[in-house]
Structure 1
């Protein structure tokens, strides 16, 4: 049986600020992110399995990514927990805003690394995360490939 890659695309809105950055992105701002999730595996050959012919049911992949990424990051503001933005984060939280504090500078590069770990931990046996593409703007994105991280 052939090995197949399947991809599902997710959209979410997230704000962030890059502490210590020397450009405009030091200010709090947001993006309409597109996350391309590609997994790899062999289609199920058991004709009695309700998922016969699928590598993974797209709805099962959707559930994983929504729970781990989209539902968490959508309409949230992400700050590195070790920056002076922590005071702003606390103020936003007291006003009912959804704030995420992370261990890393919330760039697309670091976010895609974080997302890869979260998704990999939830995939069923026999299915591997092949690649992620996190598109921040129309012309800018970060990519993560399993083959680069072995």
Structure 2
């Protein structure tokens, strides 16, 4: 099995806020991330697929095609958007980086070619904070 990773980038704003809590409780739990004027991140997205190299090309998957799928189904929907307000596949969800990684998985998985398996979504919110999702529903 060979693992292939494509790295992409997008910028997006969001707010961490539980509407069933008071403003004070949200500030206590989420701090600056509960800012009523939102806040943003420069996200780094690592998409790892796995499979056997095609004997005709030597590729697990054409990386240009993988990049195009990520652009069409993920970054075009997220880049320079408000995750809480503008992103259909996050509607009604808490806009944490964890939920965003799961949403990205769900956007990409159905579009991969036969024989290529989505292995991992690694999403950096900051250089020191990232999540990894391997497709196992919580």
Q: TM-score band, normalised by the shorter chain?
A: 0.7 to 0.9
Please list the CA deviations of residues 59-86 of structure 1 after superposition, one character each: whole Å capped at 9, or x if unmatched.
Answer: 010011001111110000111xxxxxxx
Structure-1-length-normalised TM-score: 0.78
Q: Spell out the pairing of 1:116-135 with structure 2 (5 A cutoff).
A: 116-135=105-124
Stretches of structure 1 lacking an aligned partner (at least 5 in a row): 80-88, 90-98
RCO greater where, 1 or 2, for CA within 8 Å and sep 6 or more? 2
Rg comparison, structure with higher value: 1
Cα deviation for residue 104 of structure 1 reads 0.8
Q: Spell out the pairing of 1:98-113 with structure 2 (5 A cutoff).
A: 99-100=86-87, 102-113=91-102
Please list the CA deviations of residues 72-130 of structure 1 after superposition, one character each: whole Å capped at 9, or x if unmatched.
Answer: 10000111xxxxxxxxx5xxxxxxxxx33522111100000000111101101110000
Match of 2:34 in 1: 26
Cα deviation for residue 18 of structure 1 reads 1.2
Structure-2-length-normalised TM-score: 0.84
Stretches of structure 2 lacking an aligned partner (at least 5 in a row): 19-25
Which stretches of structure 1, 4 residues or longer, exceed 3 Å deviation after superposition? none
Match of 1:77 in 2: 82
